[in-house]
Amino acid sequence: MLEEIRQQPAALERTLRGQMREAVRLRARFRKQRPRLIVLAARGSSDNACRFGRYLLEITTGIPVSLAAPSVITLYQASVDLRDALVVAISQSGESTDTNLVLERARAAGAFTLGVTNERTSSMARVAESLLHVRAGKEKSVAATKTYTGQLMAMYVLAWALGARLRPDDLERLPDAAAAALKLEPEIAVRAQRYRFMDHAVVIGRGLNYANAFEFSLKLMETCYVPAERFSTADLMHGPIAMVDRSFPAFLFGPAGVTWPATRAMLEKLRHLKAETLLITDRGNPDAASQAECAVCLPLKLVRKSLTPEDIYTPIPYIVPAQLFAACLAQVKGLDPDHPRTLTKVTRTM
């Protein structure tokens, strides 16, 4: 897992470079026939990439995005009107039975279908009309890391193809941003020691980093066996905040931008409750260090003043410290993050 986390800058660079030719073709298609709706389908870490895609695509293109419930098709055999829709399935292996069936039924229902996978020869690659190939290389660890960030990159590429005002030059900087985040590994390995006996946690993110809250909590659950709830700052205040008390571990994503005021208010609330907080942020948010009890600060500024929102490019580098933390904590606990109990790399469900 740690080795694959370290491979992410190169994997991201390959993925972006390799996807642009198909992205140019997609951009030409979408200029002629813009989808009225986008539906994203996935499971596991790939589903968290879909959560990110929903925010990114709606924010940057204005097209409504829905997260598919595969059971509607696989179990209830419902017919869904998907004419003029774009249906995107995301899978590390490309062999997820239910997401591939969603693609098949969507195509038959009149949708244009797109697959996002790390395996070019997979079932998904054969079913989908178009493919954005994640070039992460073979991922051996059960816990997805480099394929997850590769899928986030694919969402940026798809947004560009749909006409979003994203600059390819900015996307080309994301591998370097991930490399900068990797420099935090020694610090994070030390911080993980404090959480050796952690047996519960909450992860908090909002907006474009809401998906990372889900992904971080998934990594804590599958590699460290720590039950980790995940919420936005807004949802946590609607009841679940009652579970937080003294020394309760809380992890927050805190980029600059429109989500920061709510995150800062949440930090203040957690400080009042005497919770144990750890904030992931970067130098582009100068207010973060003074507000956080404990912060992991990426050694770069991710604010793009020429674009809104300010946090648009934070999700890929921000998940890297979280991945490192989960891998290091698993080692501290004497666990093998590469082979979590009861899990296999390819999971097939219906």
Chunked into runs of 10 residues, the chain (350 residues) has average pLDDT values of 97 97 97 97 96 98 96 91 96 93 94 97 96 95 95 98 94 97 97 96 98 98 97 93 94 95 95 95 87 87 71 97 98 90 59
pLDDT at 306: 60
- Distance, CA of 168 to CA of 180 (rounded, Å): 19
Yes or no: say if 338 and 143 are a contact pair by the CB < 8 Å rule: yes
pLDDT at 349: 61
Yes or no: say if 293 and 271 are a contact pair by the CB < 8 Å rule: yes
Yes or no: say if 40 and 52 are a contact pair by the CB < 8 Å rule: no
pLDDT at 337: 87
pLDDT at 340: 75
Find tokens 């959480």 and name the residue.
195
Nearest to 15 by CA among 137, 115, 113: 137
pLDDT at 346: 54
Buried b (16+ CB within 10 A) or exposed e, 280-306: bbbbbbeebeebbeebbbbebebbbee
- Distance, CA of 238 to CA of 37 (rounded, Å): 30
Token pair, residue 27, equals 């951009």
Find tokens 């971080």 and name the residue.
216
For the entire predicted model, the pTM comes to 0.95
pLDDT at 339: 83
Token pair, residue 262, equals 């709510």
- Distance, CA of 68 to CA of 78 (rounded, Å): 13
**At a CB cut-off of 8 Å and minimum separation 6, what does 249 contact?**
195, 198, 200, 201, 202, 275, 276, 278
Q: Which domains does the chain have, with CATH numbers?
A: 2-168 (3.40.50.10490), 176-332 (3.40.50.10490)
- Distance, CA of 317 to CA of 302 (rounded, Å): 9
Secondary element (H or E) of residue 161? helix 146-161
pLDDT at 291: 79
